[in-house]
Amino acid sequence: MSLNSSKALFVDQDANFSVRDDIYHEHNDPNELFIETLYSGVNPADSKHATLLGIRSTVIGYDFCGRILSAPSGSNFSNGDIVAGYTPSRIGRPTKYGTHQPQLLCPEDLVFRVPSNLSESHAAALTVVAMTAADAVFNIFKLPLPTTPAVFSSPILIWGASSSVGICAVQFLRASGCQNIFVTASPARHALLRSLGATHVFDYSSSTVVGDIAAAVEALGQGPITNALDAVGTFTTPSSADMVAQSVKNSAAILASVVKFDEGFQMPLALIKDGFHVHPLGAPHPISIPAQPERHWRAWEGFQWAVKNYGTKFKLPSVEVFDGTAEDALQEIIKVGGEGRGFGKLVIRQPFR
């Protein structure tokens, strides 16, 4: 069955972005849900995956909240269910998986029912950033899940904690039992981060921030920083990952970054249930990311805790809804993937005006 998706945000093989109204999908996979998009969530990856990883000739976007129009026989979902989730990414990604369009398809194991405690707009903003943070905290750092917390007194550092991934990571750390959560952010976000679980906050732009962190770690007396996450991924000189490395004096510490996977850093990933291929900018050939289903489902368990407890023990403090034309929405997405639009998450009401 071919399905007309009306206006969709598309990136071509040369990484040019445009609005298309001639995209058609083939609904032929028995494990997929056909979904009317209510909100499409915006992430830097929406544009950066095309320019930096070679994921092109596709409709862009990963996060969504929508209404099921058609569920396959034997599905755990029913027509009319309000669901949210995210869609797969890879070179050769089908247009049906792009979320910045009025209708999409999604494998049902990447979808969850939206509970009454979670608004549709917030549901559309949640999955990518929360799953990335969950992979860092519960898989790379190997902290306990929120359902079985344990006291962990060694300090952990989140650099750029007011980013959406950073905000999720702080809340997961608190829920897992971490007692000493060190974070950097602009001073305007310090009070918010303390309310979410941060115990020690530092101004990332201060010329003395590395020394300030070291002094606080020594004064705390709970040992060195054992885990650190670069949650913002800047490419400045020095980069945010460089600042993390300078702040962590423990050679045995586990380091993670949302953009860096060399020089001792591991990269948290939002979706690793299945293997996929990407072609990083400058690399001579595509590279293969192997499937790691156990890692995926452990992060998913932590994520489901966040969904269940949204609004009480977990939240995104700022979600903005954009309601406008497809052309204007595309410009906002490009801003998010470039210099950013400031604090908080952006979701787009569908269909476009």
Burial class (CB in 10 A: 0-12, 13-18, 19+), 128: buried
Q: Which pLDDT score, from 0 to 100, does residue 28 have?
A: 65
3-state secondary structure of 350: coil
Q: Which pLDDT score, from 0 to 100, does residue 201 have?
A: 98
Q: Which pLDDT score, from 0 to 100, does residue 29 have?
A: 82
Q: What is the pTM of this model?
A: 0.96
Q: Which pLDDT score, from 0 to 100, does residue 1 have?
A: 43
Strands 8-11 and 17-20: antiparallel
Domains assigned to the chain: 2-114+318-349 (3.90.180.10), 129-266 (3.40.50.720)
Q: Which pLDDT score, from 0 to 100, does residue 3 have?
A: 52
Q: Which pLDDT score, from 0 to 100, does residue 9 have?
A: 98
Helices (runs of H) and strands (runs of E) counted in the chain:
8, 20
Buried b (16+ CB within 10 A) or exposed e, 286-309: eeebeebeebbebbbebbbbbbbb
The answer to whether 193 touches 185, Cβ cutoff 8 Å, is yes
The answer to whether 176 touches 137, Cβ cutoff 8 Å, is yes
Q: Which pLDDT score, from 0 to 100, does residue 149 have?
A: 95
pLDDT in tens, the chain (353 residues): 445 558 999 999 999 999 999 998 876 688 999 999 999 999 999 999 999 999 999 999 999 999 999 999 899 999 999 999 999 999 999 999 999 999 999 999 999 999 999 999 999 999 999 999 999 999 999 999 999 999 999 999 999 999 999 999 999 999 999 999 999 999 999 999 999 999 999 999 999 999 999 999 999 999 999 999 999 988 889 999 999 999 998 999 999 999 888 889 999 999 999 988 898 888 888 888 899 999 999 999 999 999 999 999 999 999 999 999 999 999 999 999 887 778 899 999 999 98
Contacts of 253 (CB under 8 A, 6+ apart): 224, 225, 226, 227, 228
